[in-house]
């Protein structure tokens, strides 16, 4: 009856792509795709550089903040759509709540 059962230590970790969090790796992957579509080596290198710079800026912005900081920032600064609207929380354009 002795079985080695794996018990995860952390259930709510961010998704990872390699060593990067998904929200930091997404700009690099997007710009690499755009550079590939451009069809030239110079455009690929320039878009790769832009993606790396943007992901570095996002990583610095996220440093020492809540792990879901990027999602919270996107919720408060982007317009809502039917896919992102939450029924329990107030709309993001209502900044001051009374009560």
pLDDT in tens, 56-70: 998 898 888 887 788
Would residue 89 count as lying in a domain? no
- Cα–Cα distance, 46 to 16 (Å, whole number): 25
79 or 22: which carries more pLDDT confidence?
A: 22
For 14-24, write each residue's pLDDT tens digit: 777 888 888 88
What's the structural domain count of the chain?
A: 1
Would residue 83 count as lying in a domain? no
Would residue 38 count as lying in a domain? yes
Would residue 98 count as lying in a domain? no
* Domain span at 64: 16-68
pLDDT at residue 87 in the model? 66
- For the cut 60, the answer to whether the pLDDT of residue 32 exceeds it is yes
- For the cut 60, the answer to whether the pLDDT of residue 1 exceeds it is no
- Cα–Cα distance, 60 to 69 (Å, whole number): 12
- Cα–Cα distance, 78 to 75 (Å, whole number): 6
Could you tell me where the beta strands, DSSP code E, fall in the chain? 16-17, 20-21
């Amino acid at each position: 009856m002795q079985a080695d059962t794996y018990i995860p230590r952390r259930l709510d970790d961010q998704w990872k792509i390699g060593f990067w969090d998904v929200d930091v790796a997404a700009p690099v992957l997007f710009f690499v795709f755009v550079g590939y579509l451009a069809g030239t080596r110079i455009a690929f290198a320039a878009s790769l550089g832009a993606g790396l710079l943007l992901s570095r800026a996002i990583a610095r912005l996220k440093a020492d903040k809540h792990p879901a900081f990027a999602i919270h920032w996107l919720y408060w600064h982007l317009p809502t759509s039917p896919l992102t609207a939450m029924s329990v929380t107030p709309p993001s354009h209502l900044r001051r709540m009374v009560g």
